[in-house]
Amino acid sequence: MGEALYRDVSIVEEVSGCLLCNNAPCTKACPYGLEVDTIIRSIRFENSLGAAARIPDPVPCADCRTKDCMRACLKKRINRPVSIDEIILNAASYEKVVLGDVDLSIEFCGIKCENPFFLSSSVVGSNYEMIAKAFEMGWAGVAFKTVGTFAAKEVSPRFEALRKEAVPFIGFENIEQISEHPLEENVLHIKRLKKDYPDKIIIASIMGQDEAEWTYLAKLMTDAGADIIECNFSCPHMAANGLGSDVGQNPELVAAYTRAVRKGTHLPVLAKMTPNLGNMEIPAMAAVEAGADGIAAINTIKSIIKVNLDSFASAPEVKGKTSVGGYSGKAVKPIALRFIQSMKNCGALKDIPVSGMGGIETWKDAAEFMALGCENIQVTTSVMQYGYRIIQDMIEGMKYYLYTHGYKNVSEIVGRALPQVVSPENLDRSSICYPKFDKSKCLGCGRCYLSCYDGGHQALKQEAITGKPVLIAEKCVGCHLCVTVCPVNAISQGVRVIKKLEPELCKAQ
């Protein structure tokens, strides 16, 4: 009974502890030939149906006595091995779905892409060997790391992560600049990639220092065989003024440089927007009016990730110093979605193609961006953390989602969430949705009580013996803080009722 009740909580907790090894020893040790690491990774990346499909029936783990996979698990060197047998048995209980025909191909800026998943302009797409490997694994395209007429001189170190409790990677900061390779070398990489992978899409990301350079770079990348030109108006930490986000915050410069790029190419042009401003629509409209065919958003957010309280140096620390860097990773996804929605809600931009990025780790993240209007998805930080292999679950997870929801093509979900985002004054304020408590799941830990009393409306009390919550309906405002903090998903949305009239209002009537 307990395993069934807490399956989803338990399985997420266990796979989160997996080190996600390369050439995983657990898989090598499995006497039944199960793809143990692939199953765990699929669950980690929200592809539970894909995980279940890889487990035979009957489940061999049920009769396994040797536990060779767990003996081989490297995690045991830290504390204990991952409970692989528990993961496999729980994953086997997910519904088995025979995947039908689903088409992930989609048109972006008039170009047919085999799927919407691209590598974004960064270190993950900066030379031939890397990108060739990614293409072979299933990525549909790449935005080649931004090139300029100069090769950037980089610092060491230049990466740092934000951590919380046992989560090692909430957010990520970098102080890396554009390509550190010579322009001629980058051109050769792009030419070779297009020759060897003609059906893959190459976005050439460029950054000039004046209008002449923007035109020159656009022409050079067009001649090299790129399919799309992306104007990097948004890098938050370039070493010189008048580059990167300095441009993206200035609609006049955005327009001037977009026009300069348009002079140098007949290809579709993307303007990559900075989130380091309040209203992205203003520079985005300037780019479109000047000839851009689409928008890419968002780039990283200006940040200082931490301070060492012994040395008072920030991070990444370069001989005791640092600079403002660019923040990315899962933590920025809500900010990225907000900017995407704002642009798609703007009359002048609602029909402009958008390549979305910012905190995308799984197919579900990607689907959320597409539901808010993106036809194309770009990924960097997740690849830096987990490798190109995440594409397997992105493709498979998206296919399972589309198939089980009756969609034939991924383009059918584009923009479907936009009507659900409305102005605050259009939200229903006449009713309350009360929380619903599943007492069979509740552990009596009191987390909901603490949060409600200390951070909410004192609308819960705890039973004296069991510690389980009791709702004080007359105090509850339906904020659902309790739902968000429950560690075992024992609280959910309940009944919605019309608010009672306030006493003063009753007297007035």
Residue positions annotated with a catalytic role: 235
Query: What burial class does residue 73 get, using C-beta atoms within 10 Å of its C-beta: 0-12 exposed, 13-18 middle, 19+ buried?
Result: buried
* Integer Cα distance of 145 and 364 in angstroms: 25
SS3 482: helix
* Integer Cα distance of 177 and 286 in angstroms: 25
Place of tokens 């969609």: 407
DSSP 401: H
Provide the β-strand partners of residue 377.
117, 356
Place of tokens 């799941």: 441
Measuring CA to CA, which residue among 272, 426, 407, 412 is closest to residue 345? 426
464: Cβ contacts below 8 Å, ≥ 6 apart:
none
Question: Is residue 201 within 8 Å of 118, Cβ to Cβ?
Answer: yes
Question: Is residue 342 within 8 Å of 278, Cβ to Cβ?
Answer: no
* Integer Cα distance of 205 and 461 in angstroms: 57
SS3 356: strand
The 3-state secondary structure of 26-82 reads: HHHHCCCCCCHHHHHHHHHCCCHHHHHHCCCCCCHHHHCCCCHHHHHCHHHHCCCCC
* Integer Cα distance of 220 and 144 in angstroms: 14
92: Cβ contacts below 8 Å, ≥ 6 apart:
52, 55, 57, 59
* Integer Cα distance of 479 and 486 in angstroms: 14
Within 10 Å of residue 348's Cβ, how many Cβ atoms? 12
Question: Is residue 393 within 8 Å of 90, Cβ to Cβ?
Answer: no
Question: Is residue 193 within 8 Å of 132, Cβ to Cβ?
Answer: yes
What single string gives the DSSP state of each residue in 293-342? -EEEE--PEEE---B-TTT--BSS-BTTB---EEEESGGGHHHHHHHHHH
DSSP 22: T
Question: Is residue 374 within 8 Å of 356, Cβ to Cβ?
Answer: yes
Q: What element of type H or E holds 169? A: strand 167-174
